[in-house]
Each structure stands twice: as structure tokens, then as C-alpha cells.
Amino acid sequence: MPDPIQTVLVVDDEPHSVAAMRMALEDDFNVLEAANAEEAWRLMEDHWVQVLISDQRMPDKTGIELLTEVRDRWPETVRIIVTGYTETNDMIQAINDAGIYQFITKPWHPDQLLMAVRNATRLFSLARDHERITLEMRYLGNTASRKLEERRRIAQAGLGFDHVLRGPNSPLNATIGLARQYASFDVPVLITGEPGTGKTDMARAMHYGSLRADRPFFELNCAGLSDEVLAAELFGMKRGAVPGMAQTKVGLFQKADRGTLFLNGIDTLSDAMQIALLRIAQEGAFQPVGGHETLTTGVRLLTGSHCDLREKADDGVFRQDLYHALAVVELQVPPLRARGDDVAILAERFLHDIAQEHGKPVRGMAKPALDFLAGYDWPGNMPELRNEVTRMLILAQDMTLGPELISRHILQSGPKGATPVAGDVCRLEGTLKERVELMEMRILGETLTRLKWNKSKAATELGLSRVGLRAKLDRYGIEPHAAVSEED
């Protein structure tokens, strides 16, 4: 039975704009028209609308205002805005205020509009599937629940950029705003960022935000792989190409045909692998290891680099022609140290995921613990944060995890907003006496926090008397967190 035709509502006070959008969409969708927000609201009440497209500039109410109100009443409707504004700040504000799925800037092309609406209706269907699966899981037994959990995981992954965890004012919002636009265009994208910043999650979100969302997504980290292993993984291998190889191996370029392949760590590729990848990027052609026939692939290639690939290309370390073939557009994913407000959100999510995985009940993290985590630089980015949260969970004796569970080097960095000490003494300023006092103050704070403000234990560990410890605490004005009670 064919799927029912989906309904799209276009809102614009200019009749010729409405007519142009109708012409672009009417072959694929049931198109409703409104000249202002009031007419749009009435149509929303009378019809089941999957996608709402609104112009930003309208006389009675702006598009952002309309879409914000629609989100509150009909949150499942996917919202798109058409505007002449392209400033990043406007994009972030609109996304935060109205939960806008995508911006379409004027002048738009009919194919661009059609592609955006097709993606939006697919997102609507995935969200409905996810909702249905959630309800089903409440009533099914363990065997059925495991199968549905897999379907739910796929549905959640299909939600794309909504699956990338961040705060309302995160620096990542600007990157995601660009990624949403790039996702709809079937071109190679280079994603740069330090290891562990979430480049794979960004690539996966772009796949599920594209017209290839119903096709497979594969990813491979090239860093550390030899040319032989990498060639076999990417291009496949014919039976007998390697002694003991009993069967043909299918490579990722075949598996991901008409889907998306994300290759991370391409800055580590050898000259030979760069040439092989250039042929893929330019012609979509390759040969399996040990084979003589030329195969083709229609894969969309997304790549990731841990460093500035343009700089490596300028220095002659990376091929210029390959760089330009892979970097039609670029995305820069910020490191975790630049996302201070996101650390608490990520830590809480990691905690509950890990607790569920290991079957250990928790309530969450105390605010002082979150402040210490947010004050650290996280050179290892999200994997390091996840490891720290795992360690805290293992050591936890209470339902709420406190700062005393945090590793010493993180505690010595101080809570959010504190002057850094541990790990980089050279960053301190002032006289020698002032620097030593600051280090002493931080060590005192770290020791007492770790020992849950047991002053007897702290004095013994630091080689001080109780009186001497109290004098130093009074001198520096060090007091326990509100959530911690002092112990003798």
C-alpha cells in the first residue's frame, strides 16, 4: 500500500513567493497556503501538517515568532524558515527560539527547496516511528524489547543533529547550523577537530539529514592502520590475494554504495593511499586488492582530520588536489575546553548511560562536582570525560556523585572560573610569593575536597597540625562546598 501523500503548509505574505513554492512542491506533496500567521494557525488546526515553511518577514508576526508558537502546540511538525538573513547569530537565535530544522536563504532554487522538504518529511516519519517504538516497549517482554531497542536506536540516530548533545548557547550550535545546510547538498565535506571532539557524530548526523538517510552509513578511522589493512578495508580483497585468505572480502566502498562513508584521520594517509583515494573522489573508481577489474561506487565521502589539512597541503605534506577534492566545504568542530557550558550536560548523560550499562543506580552529580569538571581543559576531549565519569561511578558509594570522587589532577585545576595551576604552572602570574600561595591554596582545596573535608586526615596527609591547617584555611578563606559537611 503506497504511503499517504504528506502535507506541507507554506506561509508568506507575497503571493508570487507562495506560488513559486507551490510549483516546486505540488508534484510530491499536498500544499496548503497562508498569507499570514493567523491564516496559518487556522490551517494547522484543520489539517495534519508534517512540514511548515514560513517566510521570516511578515507584517503581523515574524516567521520565528510563528514557528515558536507552532512548536509549543504541534511539536512534531518540522519547521523550516525562508529568510534573507544569513548572519550566524541570527541562525543560532532562531534555532534556539523556534527549534527550526533548516534555514533556506533567498534566493532559493526549487531543487533546494524540494530536497529540504523531503528531508523534513523523512525526519517527521522517523520521529513518529521513535514515538511508536517507545510506547510499544512499555508493554513487550524482554525478547521483543531487545529487538525494539535496536529499532529505537536506529530511529534516534535518524534524528540526526538533535542527537548531538549540547547546551542552548553552545559554540557547537554554529557548526551544526552550517552542517544542516551542507547535509542537503551531495558534496564531500571535510570535518576538522581534535581527536575525541565528536567528528563521527557530526558525520552521522549529516548522513541522516541528507537524502541518503535510508541508505547505509559506515565509518573508519584511518589513523594507525597500515596501507595493506586500509586497502583491504576500503577496497575489498579477492580470494587468494593473501595466503590463507579463503574468501572474498567486500570493502567499505562497496558496502556504502549510494550511502555515506566517513573516513576519519585522513591526515595520516600515506602517499600511495592518497593517490588511491583521489581516484575515488574524482571518478568513483577503485580496484579490490588482488583484483584486476575496476569497480565503481556512488558513495558520498565525508572525511575527518585531526589537524589543519589546508596547512599540510600548503606545506606539501598532503596532496593539494586531494585536499580540494575532499574539502568542497569544511566544518570545524570545537574542542571540549571551548564548550565549558556543555561539560555538565555531557557528564550527566555519560553518567546515566554508563550507570544503565553496568546496572548501578545513581541520581546524578552534585553541583560542586560539575563545577570541577567544567573547570578542567580536557585535552583528551569527550573520551577523557567519559573515562572520568566511569571512574567516578565505580568509586561512588552514594546515589549522588560528589567532587571527592574526581581525579586529583582535575581537582587541582580548580572549579569553573578558577585560575589554572596544576599541569601548567607557567600560566600563573604575579610574584614568586603570590604564585606559591596560589599553588598552596589549590592543593589545600584539592586535598580537603578529595577527603570530604576530614581535617584530621588532610592535616596528616599534608604534614600539618590541626591548628596549622586551620590557620591556612582562615588565611586563604577556604570553605567547604555547601553540599559538604565538615568532619574532624
Give the domain range for residue 68: 7-125
Q: In what order do the strands lie in the sheet with 260-264?
A: 217-221, 260-264, 300-305, 189-192, 329-332
What integer pLDDT is reported at residue 247 of this predicted model? Answer: 67
Residue 303 shares a structural domain with residue 366:
no
What integer pLDDT is reported at residue 101 of this predicted model? Answer: 82
Residue 118 shares a structural domain with residue 219:
no
Contacts (Cβ under 8 Å, ≥6 apart) of 324: none
pLDDT confidence band for 422 (50 / 70 / 90): very low
Cis peptide, bond prior to residue 168, ω within 30 of zero: no
Residue 58 has pLDDT above 90, yes or no: no
What integer pLDDT is reported at residue 260 of this predicted model? Answer: 94
Residue 209 has pLDDT above 50, yes or no: yes
Using CB atoms within 10 Å of the CB of residue 175, give its burial: 0 to 12 exposed, 13 to 18 middle, 19+ buried: buried
Pure H helices in 284-339: 309-314, 320-326
Determine which of 241-245, 270-274, 433-437 has the lowest per-residue pLDDT on average.
241-245
Q: Report which secondary-structure segment, H or E, holds 173.
A: helix 172-183
195 in any annotated domain:
yes
Percent of the chain with pLDDT over 90: 35
Mean pLDDT of 445-472: 70
Per-residue pLDDT reduced to its tens digit, 285-298: 998 888 888 889 99
Mean predicted lDDT score pLDDT of the chain: 82
Per-residue pLDDT reduced to its tens digit, 351-406: 999 999 999 988 888 888 888 898 888 999 999 999 999 999 999 888 889 888 88
Mean pLDDT of 259-283: 94
Residue 163 has pLDDT above 90, yes or no: no
Mean pLDDT of 261-280: 94
What integer pLDDT is reported at residue 33 of this predicted model? Answer: 93
Mean pLDDT of 51-69: 87
pLDDT confidence band for 420 (50 / 70 / 90): very low
Cross-strand partners of 104: 82
pLDDT confidence band for 52 (50 / 70 / 90): very high
Q: In one letter, which amino acid is 44?
A: M
User: Last residue of a domain, which of 284, 300, 334?
Assistant: 334
Residue 237 shares a structural domain with residue 381:
no
What integer pLDDT is reported at residue 152 of this predicted model? Answer: 43
Residue 382 shares a structural domain with residue 434:
yes
Angle value at C-alpha 134, between 133 and 140, nearest 5 degrees: 80
Which one is predicted more confidently, 365 or 134?
A: 365
Phi (first) and psi of residue 240, to 5 degrees: 90, -5
154 in any annotated domain:
no
> Cα–chain-centroid distance for residue 426?
33
Phi (first) and psi of residue 299, to 5 degrees: -70, 145
Determine which of 75-84, 114-123, 162-171 has the lowest per-residue pLDDT on average.
162-171
Per-residue pLDDT reduced to its tens digit, 65-101: 898 888 888 888 898 988 876 555 666 666 666 678 8
Residue 76 shares a structural domain with residue 217:
no
> Cα–chain-centroid distance for residue 483?
32
Residue 416 has pLDDT above 90, yes or no: no
We report the CATH number of the domain holding residue 114 as 3.40.50.2300
148 in any annotated domain:
no
Q: What is the DSSP string of 349-406?
A: HHHHHHHHHHT----EE-HHHHHHHHTS--TTHHHHHHHHHHHHHHH--SSEE-GGGS
What integer pLDDT is reported at residue 43 of this predicted model? Answer: 92
pLDDT confidence band for 166 (50 / 70 / 90): confident
User: Last residue of a domain, which of 334, 365, 395?
Assistant: 334
Mean pLDDT of 132-154: 56
Residue 327 shares a structural domain with residue 355:
no
Residue 343 shares a structural domain with residue 326:
no
Residue 115 shares a structural domain with residue 203:
no
Q: What are the Cα distances from residue 356, in Å, to 173, 363, 441?
A: 28, 12, 38
Q: Report which secondary-structure segment, H or E, holds 207.
A: helix 199-208
User: Helix count (H) and strand count (E) of the chain?
Assistant: 20, 14
What integer pLDDT is reported at residue 145 of this predicted model? Answer: 52
What integer pLDDT is reported at residue 319 of this predicted model? Answer: 94
We report the CATH number of the domain holding residue 434 as 1.10.8.60
Which one is predicted more confidently, 150 or 131?
A: 131
pLDDT confidence band for 150 (50 / 70 / 90): low
User: Last residue of a domain, which of 75, 101, 125?
Assistant: 125
The span from the CA of 375 to the CA of 239, in Å, is: 54
> Cα–chain-centroid distance for residue 21?
32
We report the CATH number of the domain holding residue 182 as 3.40.50.300
Contacts (Cβ under 8 Å, ≥6 apart) of 264: 199, 200, 219, 220, 221, 222, 223, 303, 304
What integer pLDDT is reported at residue 129 of this predicted model? Answer: 76
216 in any annotated domain:
yes
Q: How many domains does the chain have?
A: 3
Percent of the chain with pLDDT over 70: 78
- The two most distant CA atoms of the chain are separated, in Å, by 83
Q: Which three cell numbers stand for residue 263?
A: 573516513
217 in any annotated domain:
yes
What integer pLDDT is reported at residue 76 of this predicted model? Answer: 86
143 in any annotated domain:
no
Residue 344 shares a structural domain with residue 370:
yes
Residue 330 shares a structural domain with residue 342:
no
What integer pLDDT is reported at residue 261 of this predicted model? Answer: 95
* C-alpha dihedral (118, 120, 125, 131), degrees to nearest 10: 170
pLDDT confidence band for 476 (50 / 70 / 90): low
Q: What is the DSSP string of 349-361?
A: HHHHHHHHHHT--
* C-alpha dihedral (212, 154, 386, 224), degrees to nearest 10: -50
Angle value at C-alpha 32, between 30 and 36, nearest 5 degrees: 160
63 in any annotated domain:
yes
Residue in 273, 270, 265 with CA at minimum distance from that of residue 304 = 265
Residue 315 shares a structural domain with residue 346:
no
233 in any annotated domain:
yes
Q: In one letter, which amino acid is 484?
A: V
The span from the CA of 193 to the CA of 223, in Å, is: 14
Q: Which three cell numbers stand for residue 414?
A: 580548580
Residue 308 shares a structural domain with residue 222:
yes
